[in-house]
Structure formats: structure tokens, C-alpha cells
Amino acid sequence: MRYEQIEIYLRNYYPNLWKKLLSLHHTYKNLISQKIAENCHSYSLDEVAEHVVDFVDAMPKDIIQGFALMSLSYDEIREKQRILGKRLTRKSNLLRRNFRRYLDIPLEDDEFQLSFDKDKLDFEKSYIIVPDSDDSKNGLSANDVKIFNQRKKYAVNHSIAEHLDDFAINFLQYVGLFLSLTLESEFHNCDYETAKNEISKRWKKIKRILKNKDILLLGMSVLELQKDETPHYHIQLYVAPEHREFLESVILKEFSNEQDRKENAIKDIWEAFGLIKYCLKDSNKSDTYVSFIGLQRDIKARYNSVFNGNKYKDLSDWRISKSYKRMRENKPNGMILLLIRGFSNERLNLLSARHPDFYYLKTDIQKIQVMYLYCIHFREFKNLISDKKNIYTSMRTYKIINKNNDIYNYVPCWVYVYQECIGMNFYFWECVKSRGQPPPSEDGKSLFNRNRINNIRHFSRLAQKSHIERTRCGIL
């Protein structure tokens, strides 16, 4: 049944309601009429009209007040946005979603929404941002820029999730869980904001309870829409094995509807890369929200800035340089999150500091990993396992040039307190771009033999330090 069949009856007997529906698009008027006719199982125009009146009167006020806005086409929305100076596209989409949820109809049956999205896409493709030098009508469109930003955003989220998995599994030796959290059936017919606030409130409560118990959580949460446009969570979560049972009990207490489907709601992570792709499959949609658990709030901006080689807040140039090199390897590496201070828990960030905090480390293997990180970051070896006095020894690599055949070799060497004992007398080598003190001014204190000055080309300040007997360092 179409709305035109009962419109005359409504205008004569319910003029106020008829005026309310006047601004509503005819597509939605017909959806209301068809839905009422199916539910009441009647072909009487008078009876269907009476049920339409009751149905519309029971609608939330914000939907009724938004009839005019949700019925505007995309071109009309753009014109109104230009006049008012406000962005109305998202608000109109939200009104249409709540209307569909109230009528309990899928997105595929909303012809007006599909037409709205198509018009928006056509406009973005036709709007040229960077014109072609040969043809001004062609070039980089708004849709091209949008797709590029979406891919960039996806790549950042995917990389951070991979690094987080590597750190939690291979460094902290945590267990991985995949959570699928949904709401009860009563929240599938309410407005979108109510359902979103409810599921977000429950998840925040779970994190707050675990934080009060001093239980560290790491992972990624993705809030997306189900087929009926009800929000639900996909969560990639890592926790210590001894805390898993308590975590599951807290989750099932807050999401009691998941008790019957516990095996599907809480699963073990066997293949992290496939899981990350599954969680981020809809991340380009405007109603999908990706956030990270246990990381800094600005982790995406922090990671993206370092990836592009730019400075960022509290990060030193040395940290940025080391992180940048490892990011370019395109491999999961939890060390990157430590170097960019990406964790919200400062005790984890201190693992890459001068004085590490071993609160979350239990085994010697984890301490060895910190030692490796310490060597890479500070170019020093520090014994973190033995209780004996730590030995600090700088490790540097010098670029050595062979005079005869110009072969480049990278020679690792141990450089002691005053960088003595660099034996230059017996080899036709030179040190290039090495660090050291300014050359001495007195004669007779040069490291190299002046009688062989023609055979040794020397430009390094390191090799020009004052000469001390090589027997002191055990060379001769």
C-alpha cells in the first residue's frame, strides 16, 4: 500500500499529522504505509490510516523534527551547508539510520539513502582538487584524495596492530584473545546513540575494573555496525596468562547475553595477521571507530610522524632515526613502540630508557631483549641479568677505506675510555667520519708514524689523539 492512497484521509481527519508528514520524502512515507499494512494485515484504508497516526505519534521527537533534513538530497544539503556554514551530511545520515532502525528495515531497502550516497560519490569524483597540467578537467579528484587518506589510515592502524602483537606475544609472553561483544535484543530497535553509549560504557567499565586490579591490557578495539546497524565490538586483546580467567569473568558479567555463546564471544588468537585484516575490513567507513588499548592516545599521529621522519614532541632525533629505520623494514617489531614511547603505561616506556623498569618482566630472556634494545638505542652494552657490577662499553662501527683497492668494510670495534690504542701504524687504512677530541698541538704525539705519512691518508680527529703506549691496552 502506498501513502497516496491514505493521504486524503489523513488530510481531512488528521491535518496536524498530515502537516508533519508533508516535509518527509515520499520514499519514507511509502515505507511507513507498507510497514503498517503488513503488520495489521488489513487492506482497509481507514484502518491503515489510523495505525499510521498511532505509529507516527509514537516516534521519537528528534526523528519527527528531522523529517525535513533527512529528506534533502545531496545537492540540497550542500546548498544548505553553504548558506548556514555548518556540516549537515553526517546529521542527516544519522537521522535516516535511526528512522530505519525504528521501522526495522535494512539499509538495502532504503532507496533514498542509496541515491544520496551515489550522488555524493559522483560529486566527489567530479570535484577536481589538483588539475592536470595538460587538461584542467581531469586530475586528482576529492574521491582520489579520500581513498588515499583511507589507505594511509588503514596502513597505520595495521602496522601498529602488528607491532603490538609482536610485543605482547614475543616480548611479554602474553596470550591473545579475540572478543566479539554484542548487545541484547532490546538495544537493536532503539536509536543508534543509545546503543553506542551503552556498549561503550560497558567496555570502559571492564577496562576500569582491570586497571584497578593492576592488570595490564594491550590490544585494538574496533566499533562497527552489524547488518541491522547496531554497534558491536571486535577486540584484539592481550593479557597475562594468569589473569585470563578473571578477565573472562568480568567480560561475561558485563555482557551477560554472551554467556550462551561464550565460545564465539571469546576466542584464542591463532593467526594475528588475518585477524587484524578482519577487524579493519570496514575501517574506511565513517561509522567505524578504531582505537588502541594500552597505547598513547596520540599513537596514530606519533607513529605517522616518525614514519615520515618528522620530529614529534618528546622524541629525540636518535629515537626517531632508530624507529624510522625499523619502520621501513615493514616487519612486525614491538621494539618500535618502545622507541617512540607509544605505551600509556610509563613503566613499559622506561624499558627503552637509561634505567629500565622491570616490573612487567619475569624471565632472563625478556631482560636479554631489553639489553639488545639498550645496545641499539644507546650504543652501549649493559649487563641487566647478573647482579655483579655492570660493565659499560661503547660499541661503534667505523667505515674503513682501503687505500689500494678502495674496498669498504664495516669493522666493529671496542672503543675504550679515551679512545686510545687505535693501531694505525701498521695498516694502510684511514678512519672516515669518526668521532674524537680535537687534535693535539704538540709535536711527537701523533698516533701515526710521520715517516710513513705518504702511505697513510688521515683525516680523522679520532686518530689524532695524544699517543699513549699501546702496551697499556694489550696490543703488543
Among 56-60, 349-353, 408-412, the range scoring the smallest mean pLDDT is 408-412
Question: Distance between CA 323 and CA 309 in Å, rounded?
Answer: 9
Q: Return the ∠ at Cα 100 (arms to 49 and 125), rounded to 5°.
A: 125
Pick 404 or 170 by higher pLDDT.
170
For 3-25, what is each residue's pLDDT tens digit? 888 999 899 999 999 999 999 99
Higher pLDDT, 354 or 196: 196
Instruction: Provide the pLDDT for residue 386.
Output: 66
Helix (H, G, I), strand (E, B) or coil at 214: coil
For 208, counting Cβ atoms within 10 Å of its Cβ (0-12 exposed, 13-18 middle, 19+ buried), the class is exposed
Say if residues 194 and 334 touch (Cβ distance below 8 Å): no
Q: In 10 A of CB 200, how many CB atoms?
A: 15
- C-alpha to C-alpha distance for 165 and 293, rounded to whole angstroms: 12
pLDDT for the residue 172: 93
pLDDT score of 424: 44
- Examine the pLDDT at 396 and tell me if it is beyond 50: no
- Above pLDDT 70, what percent of the chain? 80
Q: Which residue has the cell 561483544?
A: 181
- Rg of the Cα atoms in the chain: 33
Residue in 243, 249, 245 with CA at minimum distance from that of residue 215: 243
Between CA 358 and CA 336 the distance in angstroms is 18
Pick the residue with more confidence: 432 or 16? 16
Distance CA 264, CA 54 (A): 40
Report yes or no: 307 and 324 within 8 Å, Cβ to Cβ: yes
pLDDT at site 155: 95
Under DSSP, the state recorded for 168 is: I
Q: Mean per-residue pLDDT for 116-125? A: 94
Please tell me the pTM assigned to this model.
Answer: 0.78
**What is the per-residue pLDDT for 368?**
86
Q: Which residues pair with 224 in a beta bridge?
A: 232
What is the three-class DSSP state of 177?
Answer: strand
The closest of 318, 62, 70 to 194, measured between CA atoms, is 62
Q: Categorize the per-residue pLDDT at 142 as very low, low, confident or very high, splitting at 50, 70 and 90.
A: very high
Residue range 389-397: average pLDDT? 44
CA distance 448 to 404: 18
Does residue 190 register a pLDDT over 70?
yes
8 A C-beta contact, residue 307 and residue 138:
no
Structure confidence at residue 377 (pLDDT):
80
Comparing 91-100, 224-233, 431-440, which segment has the lowest mean pLDDT?
A: 431-440
Domains of the chain: 4-125 (no CATH), 174-294 (3.30.70), 393-473 (no CATH)
pLDDT at 387: 53
Bridge partners (DSSP) of residue 429 are 402
For residue 189, pLDDT beyond 50: yes
Q: How confident is the model at residue 474 (pLDDT cuts 50, 70, 90)?
A: very low
Q: DSSP secondary-structure letter at 167? A: I
Residue 343 pairs in a beta bridge with 295
pLDDT tens digits for 228-251? Answer: 899 999 999 999 999 999 999 999
Quote the pLDDT of residue 337.
Answer: 95
| Residue of 218, 247, 211, 252 lying closest to 235 (CA atoms) | 218
Confidence band for 143, pLDDT divided at 50, 70 and 90: very high
Note whether 456 and 410 are within 8 A (CB).
Answer: no
pLDDT per residue as tens digits for the range 207-219? 999 999 999 999 9
Q: How many whole angstroms separate alpha carbon 9 and alpha carbon 50?
A: 9
Residue range 334-351, pLDDT digits in tens: 999 999 999 999 999 999
Q: Is the dihedral of CA 193, 194, 196, 201 positive or negative?
A: positive
Cα–Cα dist 11/181, whole Å: 46
Distance of CA 252 to the CA centre of its chain: 27
Instruction: Work out the pLDDT band at 194, boundaries 50, 70, 90.
Output: very high
Q: Averaged over 182-199, what is the pLDDT?
A: 91
CA distances from 249 to 32, 209, 252, 253 (A): 43, 11, 5, 6
How far is Cα 91 from Cα 93, in angstroms, rounded to an integer?
5
CB 207 within 8 Å of CB 280: no
Cα distances (Å, whole numbers) of residue 210 to 65, 265, 357: 42, 19, 21
Q: Is the dihedral of CA 68, 74, 76, 81 positive or negative?
A: positive
User: Mean pLDDT for the chain?
Assistant: 82
At 421, is the secondary structure helix, strand, or coil? coil
Q: Are 252 and 245 in contact (CB under 8 A)?
A: no
Distance, in Å, from the CA atom of 89 to the CA atom of 74, rounded to the nearest integer, reads 8
User: In the predicted model, is pLDDT for residue 152 greater than 70?
Assistant: yes
Q: How far apart are CA 128 and CA 135, in angstroms?
A: 11
**In the structure, what pLDDT confidence band is assigned to residue 40 with cuts at 50, 70 and 90?**
confident
Helix (H, G, I), strand (E, B) or coil at 313: coil
